[in-house]
Structure 1
Amino acid sequence: MKNQRKMSNKKKARIAGLLYLVVVLTGIFSLAYVPSQLIVWDNALVTFNNIKGAEFLFRLGMVSSLICYTFFLFLPFALYRLLKSVQATYAKLMVVLAVVSVPISFINIQHKYAVLSIINGYNNAKVYTGTQLQDQVLFHLNQYDNGNLIVQIFWGLWLFPFGYLVFKSGIIPKFLGVLLMLGCFSYLINFLGFSLGSNYSDLRISSFIQLPATLGEIGTCLWLLIMGAKEKQSVTPLEALNN
């Protein structure tokens, strides 16, 4: 029975790790790689031509985003199965804060569909000039970026109960839990920085501030996928009284 419980625990961890891996890979591709190849934030003409010339890559980024959001919907439930015995209230809070972000993300992707409509909508040429079309594309990309900024509130908040559960679990290394909890504040600091300061991006510190979240999430993902989760040792009645 003990070996059966251990295998079950490892299976739960690896399912969660696999879901997390899909979220991480599709997130990096859609949120980092594709924009770096296509978007020049201070040049609407270049951005318009880049997307027009590499429309498939742009569409692939959109599909990648939708896959990311879909798997992120299932991820907290898989983690809940693994960690609910640690502290049920925190486990439920983790699920709620993660799931709330998903519909916001799905609605936000409409801005990218709007970009495709502008680029391929030949009737627009009768209403807008070329410069106006280019500006419209950059406007929707900026709105999509602003939407992601709002979602970052929940991308950060869910990491705190998640990190607390990891730290307390005894089945995943504690330092990963610490990084995840710090990652919560990383997201929130960047959200406030971009929201309150018009020149925050010029400081070039957002990636550094984001580092605990990046290391915590990727580290936890790989640990769950490769190592699984240790079987939590049972506490004897005498140990329970001493504690």
Structure 2
Amino acid sequence: MKLFAGVEGKARLAGLFILGAMAARIFGDAVVRAALVVPGNGRETARNIADYPWLYRAGEGADVAMLCGMIVATALLYALFVPTGRTLARMAAVMSLTGIATLAASGLMTMAPPILLDGAPHPGIGTAEVHSLVQLSLALGQAGQGMGRIFIGLYLSLIGLLAFRSGRLPKAVGVGLALGGFSQMAVRSAALIAPDMADATVIQADIVALLAEAAFALSLLIFWRPRPFPARSEADL
């Protein structure tokens, strides 16, 4: 299809995959887990998951779709921005893949509750212990997700810098993405040190990064414009 041909086509595809990954993340976090997970209450959470196992598994499927979309978007953005700065593009790709791998590992923990609840109570494990394990697995998954978002925040900052340098997108889009990614990285890092102090701002930082990423994705769909590639010495930076 001509719509997705050439460099402009890669930009449109990258924008679509970014938006798709964002939609999957919103469904998994803001719809499924927000409805089923009761913070600090393993018994109620276990009851909700047991009552709506199909919804919880739909959230797991959305997480997998998000990770797949992020991988494809990473590859496409690397191809788009490597002429602008080879070193920065490689660093960004490494940060993205590291973050994706961390998110995937944390996803294994969030897959545990349905397994624990299937056929519970298990021999040697009472119902109360199962509820505690459900809460623990979700807490570990949340901690792993926070770690992954630190790498993703750094990735967004580097991509924002590349977008700013490339001249193929509005400068404001690159600045916004870089700042959004940096805020997410900074707040998520602070949450590791002082989780109680940073907890109130984590959601806000994630929303800022999400909005900046959405603006970037829409710009890839609409505003990407061809431009001569920089000289080799400039592209190596």
SS at match of 1:189: helix
Q: Could you tell me which of 220, 225, 232 is aligned with 2:227?
A: 232
1:206 aligns with 2:202: yes
SS at match of 1:205: helix
Aligned residue number for residue 234 of structure 2: none
Aligned residue number for residue 240 of structure 1: none
Deviant stretches of 4+, over 6 Å: none
CA contact (8 A) 1:13 1:228 kept: no
Deviation (angstroms), 1:59: 0.3
SS at match of 2:225: coil
Provide the C-alpha distance between the structure 1 equivalents of 2:96 and 2:228, rounded to a whole number of angstroms. Answer: 29
Q: Could you tell me which of 207, 211, 215 is aligned with 2:211?
A: 215
Question: Please, what TM-score do these two structures have when normalized by structure 2?
Answer: 0.88
Aligned residue number for residue 105 of structure 1: 103
Matches for 1:163-174 after TM superposition, within 5 Å? 163-174=160-171
1:137 aligns with 2:134: yes
Deviation (angstroms), 1:233: 5.7
Deviation (angstroms), 1:210: 3.3
Aligned residue number for residue 118 of structure 1: 116
Q: CA RMSD in A?
A: 2.1
Provide the C-alpha distance between the structure 2 equivalents of 1:230 and 1:210, rounded to a whole number of angstroms. Answer: 29
Deviation (angstroms), 1:103: 2.3
CA contact (8 A) 2:173 2:215 kept: yes
1:47 aligns with 2:42: no
Deviation (angstroms), 1:211: 4.1
CA contact (8 A) 1:180 1:212 kept: no
- Is the deviation greater in 138-147 or in 42-51? 42-51
Q: Could you tell me which of 152, 158, 163 is aligned with 1:161?
A: 158
Q: How many aligned positions are there? A: 228
**What percent of counterpart residues are identical?**
25
CA contact (8 A) 2:168 2:225 kept: yes
Equivalent AA in structure 1 for residue 193 of structure 2: L
Provide the C-alpha distance between the structure 1 equivalents of 2:81 and 2:229, rounded to a whole number of angstroms. Answer: 15
Aligned residue number for residue 241 of structure 1: none
Consecutive unaligned residues in structure 1, runs of 5 or more: 236-243
CA 1:121/1:81 → structure 2, altered by over 3 Å: closer, same or farther?
same
Equivalent AA in structure 2 for residue 55 of structure 1: P
Aligned residue number for residue 151 of structure 1: 148
Question: Please, what TM-score do these two structures have when normalized by structure 1?
Answer: 0.86
CA contact (8 A) 2:11 2:224 kept: yes
CA contact (8 A) 1:29 1:61 kept: yes
SS at match of 1:109: helix
Provide the C-alpha distance between the structure 1 equivalents of 2:202 and 2:194, rounded to a whole number of angstroms. Answer: 12
CA 1:197/1:94 → structure 2, altered by over 3 Å: closer, same or farther?
same
Deviation (angstroms), 1:9: 2.6
Equivalent AA in structure 1 for residue 218 of structure 2: L
